A and B are shown apart, each in its own frame.
Chain A
């Protein structure tokens, strides 16, 4: 069974940093591309970032490019999101998502809440 477990969320002040983690199990992690998606309270889904299986390709939404960095450690079956220069509008539940055989988002974690507030 595929499992994705996010952690690292919490309360952070504007301008601060946070690092999210997503630990994967139940599938060959090193063979799949991964993504981060967020959902602000009461709002819709916003795709944030993609990383290929080998980390050779990384893409970002305009809203986070230059502030967020996606990475992975295939030896640890882990995906990361380094979030810097956080803003109030970054408050959201952050999900990691595994791609399927193509680029649809096949499996999702339960999410971790990030609150940016002074």
Chain B
């Protein structure tokens, strides 16, 4: 199975500041035939189901604010929130869909400093 490892496990950032969450996969999730990274990011707020933020590593889902961006390729990926808002407090997960057995990172809890 592909193991997804996020860092840090938790993060406290001041309002208006940048938040950066990293995700590393145990093997490349870049599919050479289409040059796409099979990596998604989700946001989960307390008591709610996860919500898709980013797919193909950097494509923002419709309706997601542009302060959210995804980057990286191969095995190393980053979710960046450019200017943290109070409503961004949540747990964030990366997920690979390269393999038929999907796997998630352990999650990163984002809080306000």
Contacts and interface: CB of A to CB of B under 8 A. Distances in A.
Interface of A: 35, 37, 44-47, 50, 57, 59, 61-62, 95, 100, 102-111
12 contacts: A44-B106, A45-B44, A47-B101, A47-B103, A50-B100, A57-B100, A59-B101, A102-B56, A104-B55, A105-B50, A105-B52, A109-B49
Interface of B: 1, 38, 40, 42, 44, 49-52, 55-56, 61, 91, 93, 95, 97, 100-107
Contacts of B49: 95, 108-111
A100 B52 contact: yes
Contacts of A100: 52, 55
Nearest to A46: B104
Contacts of B50: 37, 45, 95, 105, 108
Given A44-B104, A103-B102, A105-B42, 13 more contacts: A44-B93, A45-B44, A45-B107, A46-B104, A50-B100, A59-B100, A95-B49, A95-B50, A100-B52, A105-B52, A106-B52, A108-B49, A110-B49
Contacts of A59: 100-101
Nearest to A59: B100
Contacts of A62: 1, 101
Contacts of B100: 50, 57, 59
A59 B97 CA distance: 13
A104 B104 contact: no
Nearest to B108: A44
A105 B101 contact: no
B106 A105 contact: no
B55 A102 contact: yes
A117 B91 CA distance: 28
B38 A47 contact: no
A102 B38 contact: yes
Given A47-B102, A95-B49, A111-B49, A104 B95 contact: yes
Contacts of B51: 108
A102 B97 contact: yes
Contacts of B103: 47
